[in-house]
Copies of this chain bind each other. A is one copy, B any other.
Amino acid sequence: MKPVIFGAFEINQVNLTSQGLWAHPDQTTYRYKELDYWTSMAKTLERGGFHFVFLADSYGYPHIKGLTKPVVFEQAVEIPNNDPMLVIPPMAAVTERLCFAVTASTTYEHPYANARRLATLDHLTGGRFGWNVVTTSMSVVSELFGKELIPHDERYARAEDFMALTYKLLEGSWDDDAVLVDKERRVYADPAKVREIHHHGPYHRSDGYFDCEPSPQRTPVLFQAGLSEAGRSFGAAHAEVVFLQGRDTDLVRRQVDDIRARAVKAGRSEGAVKTVTTLSIVCARSRAEAERKLDEYLAYVNYPASAAYYSAMTGIDLEALEELDPDATFSSIQTEETRSSVARHGDEKLREAADHILRYGMRELIVMGPPAEIAERLAEYVEATGVDGFLLAPFTVPASYDEFADEIAPALRDAGMLAEQPTGTFRESLFPDGGPRLPESHPAHAARASGAGVV
């Protein structure tokens, strides 16, 4: 078995997918406000053989039909949430190989300010950095930001324009050899090798030099998760790592194949986009013991909190399920906001899927048993779906990570499934045949050659 990717799925708040699990006795996520919560986690992840940690994020919280229910605050459903970028530098300071990916929205961040933050993080981490590009669907965020809600497809059009400007800034303003730091001659940078970019796009405009000198990767490794038609096209064009979620191996296989085919159609190589799926692990000496352990976790999942969370994420009001036709499928309820869920679940029956979603606290793939069996199950899943790796969603922090480090990682190594941790940039570790920069077949490349052009 060839090595697969293992990332840790994290968030700068107290619940990760399973709303209510913050209250588990082993859970320390309530310490998310403290620096040493993050630095300790980083050290554990590096010790555990993780390739990277991924920080999900969104402004806002569940706000359905004009209402945020009390359970949202009681169970801390997406609120409170802190800025995730700010915990990356201290985590990078205590690790040498662990990579980082963080979510930032093309709808709510300003492209110039965002690009400066990305470049700064790529510099500070020595190129161990990725950006999860999201367009932000939740309408509550538009109210918090005092802006009009942008329809789904227009969000992606804006995102395209945002990326075009971002590439010009990160790739097109400074030549690779512009910075000299020549103290003898007293020349910091060669003015002939720095140029203004001019971007006059449909949504964004910028004229001038980019503030930051070239960072190790320039554009960070690009992550993406959208499953709608517009989301898949965007991912196939730009993303280097795409998230999927699913128990149904056939459905995941089709999604993996679809993304690869779209990447090729977009002029990229089949291997240019890695796919990862979220994974929950329950490790125990026997399957029966693992089931008891899982039940103990799930006893903390709060049903109304999960329903509120699911509704906020997908636009599907699970609490209204009882009113639905028992045979209703995801496809039958497609609306502007539900597209991603429909793409994920297709013709699954809503009530059945909802039972699973709420019972398991939104976790899709859950693998249980002794470590060697877990490795075997994961190998089968990779074989069946073609995914390149997993994002481990912990039940409790730091216990789930310690368990991975102490129990799972050795079994994965025995099975040849856990790669050596990277030593170079994040991009080189994912694509060992390339360099630290995006390849020529990526749309960012055009910005490099024509940095001075007006679009």
Q: How far is the CA of A302 from the CA of B34 in the complex (A)?
A: 44
Contact A86 B183 (CB under 8 A): no
User: Which residues on B sit within 8 Å (CB–CB) of A90?
Assistant: 89-90, 92-93, 124
Is A234 part of the contact surface with B, judged by Cβ < 8 Å? no
Nearest CB on B from A30, distance (A) = 5
With A143-B207, A144-B208, A188-B76 in contact, do A33 and B124 touch (Cβ < 8 Å)? Answer: yes
Within 8 A of B (CB), among A62-82: 63, 68, 70-76, 79-82
Task: State which of A111-119, A313-321, A343-351 sits at the interface with chain B.
Answer: A111-119
Within 8 A of B (CB), among A23-47: 23-25, 27, 30, 33-36, 39
With A59-B116, A61-B209, A211-B60 in contact, do A82 and B123 touch (Cβ < 8 Å)? Answer: yes
User: Which residues on B sit within 8 Å (CB–CB) of A63?
Assistant: 208
Is A253 part of the contact surface with B, judged by Cβ < 8 Å? no
Contact A208 B109 (CB under 8 A): no
Q: How far is the CA of A113 from the CA of B90 in the complex (A)?
A: 21
User: Which residues on B sit within 8 Å (CB–CB) of A34?
Assistant: 123-124, 126
Is A140 part of the contact surface with B, judged by Cβ < 8 Å? yes
Is A288 part of the contact surface with B, judged by Cβ < 8 Å? no
Nearest CB on B from A264, distance (A) = 35
With A60-B211, A87-B89 in contact, do A82 and B116 touch (Cβ < 8 Å)? Answer: yes
Q: How far is the CA of A20 from the CA of B187 in the complex (A)?
A: 9
Q: What number of A residues sit within 8 Å (CB to CB) of B?
A: 83
With A74-B187, A89-B89, A110-B108 in contact, do A83 and B143 touch (Cβ < 8 Å)? Answer: no
User: Which residues on B sit within 8 Å (CB–CB) of A126?
Assistant: 34
Q: Which residue of B lies closest to A184 (CB)?
A: B23
Nearest CB on B from A300, distance (A) = 8
Is A14 part of the contact surface with B, judged by Cβ < 8 Å? yes
Interface centre among A71, A113, A190, A204, by most chain B C-beta atoms within 10 angstroms, is A113
Contact B124 A186 (CB under 8 A): no
Contact B35 A81 (CB under 8 A): no
Nearest CB on B from A302, distance (A) = 8
Q: How far is the CA of A112 from the CA of B141 in the complex (A)?
A: 10
Nearest CB on B from A127, distance (A) = 11
Chain copies in the assembly?
2
Interface centre among A60, A70, A89, A211, by most chain B C-beta atoms within 10 angstroms, is A211
Contact A124 B213 (CB under 8 A): no
Within 8 A of B (CB), among A143-198: 143-146, 178-179, 181, 183, 186-191, 194
Q: How far is the CA of A141 from the CA of B79 in the complex (A)?
A: 33
User: Which residues on B sit within 8 Å (CB–CB) of A112?
Assistant: 59, 144-146
Q: B-facing mask of A192-220, CB < 8 A → 1, else 0?
A: 00100001000011111101110100000
Contact B73 A211 (CB under 8 A): no
Contact A73 B207 (CB under 8 A): no
Is A233 part of the contact surface with B, judged by Cβ < 8 Å? no
User: Which residues on B sit within 8 Å (CB–CB) of A390?
Assistant: none
User: Which residues on B sit within 8 Å (CB–CB) of A116?
Assistant: 59, 82-83
Nearest CB on B from A278, distance (A) = 23
Contact B212 A80 (CB under 8 A): yes
Is A421 part of the contact surface with B, judged by Cβ < 8 Å? no
Is A280 part of the contact surface with B, judged by Cβ < 8 Å? no
Which one of B88, B179, B191, B211 lies within 8 Å of A81 (CB-CB)? B211
A-B contact pairs, 9 of them (CB 8 A): A30-B181, A34-B126, A73-B189, A74-B187, A75-B188, A90-B92, A93-B94, A110-B110, A144-B207
List of 10 A-B pairs having minimum Cβ-Cβ separation, nearest first: A146-B205, A70-B191, A76-B188, A33-B123, A73-B191, A80-B213, A83-B120, A82-B120, A73-B189, A90-B93
Give 8 A-B pairs besides A34-B124, A59-B211, A70-B191 with Cβ atoms closer than 8 angstroms: A35-B125, A80-B189, A82-B120, A82-B212, A86-B86, A90-B92, A108-B113, A146-B206
User: Which positions in A face B, CB cutoff 8 Å?
Assistant: 12, 14, 20, 22-25, 27, 30, 33-36, 39, 59-61, 63, 68, 70-76, 79-83, 85-90, 92-94, 108-110, 112-113, 116-117, 119-121, 123-126, 140, 143-146, 178-179, 181, 183, 186-191, 194, 199, 204-209, 211-213, 215, 300, 302
